[in-house]
Amino acid sequence: MKYEIEVPEYIKEKGLRFVWEQGYTIQTNLETNTIVLSANAEGLISLARHMLMLAQTEIPPGSHVHLDDSNSLEDGSCEFVITKI
């Protein structure tokens, strides 16, 4: 199966631009040293796009997307950070 995801081009002057699929749902929980990430299809596609955005060679190490229940995650979710090294 082939799945195509359009990833925004990185433009240094504009910074990182993250695009969300309409209707996405993402929840994170910490359960005894285990991070549990639960998402619907739209949420998984959105996260895949975010990771591909960070993977662009022009994006410097240390760039990241920080998600929490005040920013994109469901209520009660623990913080979740994806960082490029």
Q: Strand, coil or helix: what is 1?
A: coil
What's the pLDDT tens digit per position in 25-83?
A: 999 999 999 999 999 999 999 999 999 999 999 999 999 999 999 989 999 999 999 99
Q: Which amino acid is at 23?
A: G
What tokens appear for 78 in the block? 């623990």
19: Cβ contacts below 8 Å, ≥ 6 apart: 6, 8, 46, 49
Instruction: Indicate the pTM of the whole model.
Output: 0.90
Residues 62 and 33: their CA atoms lie apart, in Å, by: 24
Q: Could you give the CA distance from residue 64 to residue 5 in angstroms, rounded to a whole number?
A: 19
pLDDT, residue 77, reads 95
- Integer Cα distance of 48 and 44 in angstroms: 6
Token representation of residue 29: 């929980």
